[in-house]
Structure 1
Amino acid sequence: MSYLIAMHRESEILKQVSRGDERAFAALFNHYHQRLGLHIYKITRSEDLAEEVVQDVFLKIWMNRELLATVDNFPVYLYVISRNAALNCLKKAAHESARIEDVDLHLETMVAEVSEEDHRYLLIDEAIDQLPPRQKQVYLLSRHERLSYAEIAMQLDLSKESVKKYLQIATKSISSYIRKKLVMSCLIVAQYFFTK
């Protein structure tokens, strides 16, 4: 079977990579490197740095491939290590150019620019992780893999009605979780300003 596969087989690919399968690693790289490059570019504002960070991140993933067998949500795992790598790369560049204060200010500005979008995605990922296993499976297959109710029902050995119900409950739970988190954030910000 081709390694240019649908990513609903991602957990199997991660296991193959963790066992040292280079073709599976190439498939993982091909699936994610372009999106990751765009994400890193938003942080670094440099094509050269973005390319360097993407290479470093995938090298790190390969060097620590045994850990992939335990990763439940690879996009979140990739997001966290790539963001850290990008910020570290910017800090290193700042030290090398001896303009630490200017770059720190630049970093804060860039982080602020992407933080709202990042925060929203992180909240969604957190909310998905809070779902019971079956709801989480149905939600990810529907929203991330874009499978139809019938395809999900066949894959999980459920009725289409059960799939629909799981998806409705999961969507409602995610919305509720995000609403609560946003309200809490607003309260914390308000408390900060009123206690100064």
Structure 2
Amino acid sequence: MIEEASINVNGLMKGDENAFQALFIDYYSVLVSFAMKYLEDQETAEDIVQDVFVKIWETREKLGGIDNLSAYLYQMVRFRSFNYLRAEKVRQDATKFFTEELEETEVNEYIKNETFRIVMQTLEDLPPGSRNVFSRAIQGYSAKEIADELGIAVETVKKQKQVARRILKEKLGNLFSLFFLVG
């Protein structure tokens, strides 16, 4: 450990760049090694130590109130390393949460689109008469209105709806009751 006597605190407080440079040269590499005890990334450790030195320079006028500048430097590096690790954990947790949320949303969107595609394809596969009647029925038209519009008997409308329901129930299974509650 470097002796406290070698630090020119008065020179630092007065803005002496030579005193700051001597402090930087004496402490930079040992503080980076110290930071590496907490961090696993050399570049991050170097960034944290550089930030500490910037903070020391910016607040140099207040250094007179610090009893042991050497211990203070180590304490700042440790504190900033812990803050970095805490922030990194929060960032990773948030990223994991949003990734999982996004994946779930994408899966739900895929299921919705695929279900809609299957239902529409099944409707298209109905015989033309049943398809015409059933598509109008799901739009809310009554059997009488459909019969009048298509020029067929109400009994024919009912029969075509019955055929359509049977085919859709066979092909769609439980999806039928989710999508079609046509009376």
State the TM-score, normalizing by the size of structure 2: 0.47
